[in-house]
Amino acid sequence: MNHLLIFRIPWKDLNMLLMKIITKYVYELLEKDCNLKKISIPEGYGVIVLNPNENYIEVEKPKIHVPSSSDSSDEPAEKRERKDKVSKETKKRRDFYEKYRNPQREKEMMQLYIRENGSPEEHAVYVWDHFIAQSAAENVFFVAHSYGGLAFVELMIQREADVKSKVTAVALTDSVHNVWHQEAGKTIREWMRENCCNWVSSSEPLDTSVESMLPDCPRVSAGTDRHELTSWKSFPSIFKFFTEASEAKTSSLKPALTRRSHRIKHEEL
C-alpha cells in the first residue's frame, strides 16, 4: 500500500531551513574545493559568525516570577479571580500561537551578543587583529557590500597605518559609508580616492562614472539598479580592478585608480 505524507511547514521556517542547508553546503565547498579553514570566533567561544549583522546566539531566557494580580489584597476576591482567568486565557492563546508559528521553539529565548563581535564594526576590527594582520599575505583585497563599506571605513579609522601597509585595493559595492558622518580624516579620504572604488546601483551601463557629493573614492555603475545584485554584476570589473592594482604595486608604480580609469566599455565585458 502506498502512503502519502504531507507536512505543513510555515514559510518562515522553510526559508530558515533552506538557508541553513545552503550555508552548510557552501561552507563545505569552501573547505574542500578552496582549501579554506573554518575557525570559531572569538577564540575558545565556540561560535562561528556567519552574518556580522546577527552577531548573537540564542539562549534560554531565565524565568522571572511575576506576581499575579491575585497577590493584591486590595481587590475583591471576585475581581481578582476574573482577572486571573483572563490572564491565563491570554497566555494560553499566546503560547499556542508561538508554538504554531514556530513549532521548534518551545522555550522563551533571549539574544546574547558575542564577545568582541557584537556589531559589524567590532567584527571587522576583530577579524583584522586576529587574522588579517597576523597573516603572511602581502596583497590583501577587500570586497565590502552595503554596510560592509561602513565597517571598512571604521576599520581604517581605528587601524589606519596597518590597513595602508597591508591592503592593496578595496572594492565597495553599493556601500552606505559616509566619510563625513564617520569623521574619517583627510589622510584616509586621500587613500580611499587612490585605492578604492564603489560600484553603486544604477541603471547606467557597467563602469559608467557616477558623480558623488562625498570626497572619497570614485563611484561607478554596477550595471544594475538592484542593491542586492551589485556585487555579482560588478565582479568582472572588480577582478580587473584588483589585477591592475596588484600589477601596479608589483612594478612599484602608484595605481591610477581614478574615475576615468574605471570607465570601461560595457561591450568589452
H-run or E-run covering 27: helix 11-32
pLDDT higher than 70, residue 125: yes
Domain ranges of the chain: 115-251
Q: Mind telling me the catalytic residues?
A: 146
Residue predicted with more confidence, 2 or 17: 17
Question: Please, which pLDDT band fits residue 260 given cuts at 50, 70 and 90?
Answer: very low
Amino acid at 2: N
* Mean pLDDT of the 133-159 span: 93
Distance of CA 246 to the CA centre of its chain: 26
CA distance 220 to 201: 9
Give residue-wise pLDDT tens across range 178-213. Answer: 998 898 999 999 999 999 999 999 999 999 999 887
User: What mean pLDDT do residues 97-115 have?
Assistant: 55
pLDDT of residue 166: 94
- For residue 39, pLDDT over 80 is answered with no
Pick from 27-36, 146-155, 257-266 the range whose average pLDDT is largest: 146-155
Task: Give the C-alpha separation, 141 to 255, whole Å.
Answer: 14
Are 196 and 212 in contact by the 8 Å Cβ rule? The answer is no
Contacts of 27 (CB under 8 A, 6+ apart): 38
Q: Give the confidence band of 69 by pLDDT, cuts at 50, 70, 90.
A: very low
The residue-averaged pLDDT of 36-42 equals 76
Quote the pLDDT of residue 35.
Answer: 84
CA distance 147 to 176: 6
* Cα four-point dihedral sign 100, 101, 105, 109: negative
Is 203:182 a contact under the CB 8 Å cutoff? no
Q: In this predicted structure, which of 87-96, 165-174, 246-255 has the lowest mean pLDDT?
A: 87-96
Pair type for strands 109-113 and 56-60: antiparallel
| 3-state SS, residue 200 | strand
Segment 141-170 mean pLDDT: 95
The pLDDT assigned to 81 comes to 75
Task: Report pTM.
Answer: 0.64
Least confident of 29-33, 111-115, 138-142, 256-260: 256-260
Strands 109-113 and 140-145: unpaired
Give residue 5's pLDDT.
61
pLDDT of residue 38: 79
In three-state form (DSSP H/G/I as H, E/B as E, the rest C), the secondary structure along 102-166 is CCCCCCCEEEEECCCCCCHHHHHHHHHHHHHCCCCCCCEEEEEECHHHHHHHHHHHHCHHHHHHH
Q: What is the pLDDT of residue 200?
A: 96
pLDDT, average across residues 213-234: 92
Confidence at residue 36, expressed as pLDDT on a 0 to 100 scale: 82
Considering only residues 225 and 85, tell me which one the structure prediction assigns the higher pLDDT: 225
Which percentage of the chain shows pLDDT scores above 90? Answer: 41
Asked whether the predicted pLDDT for residue 48 surpasses 70, the reply is no
Q: Are 207 and 179 in contact (CB under 8 A)?
A: no
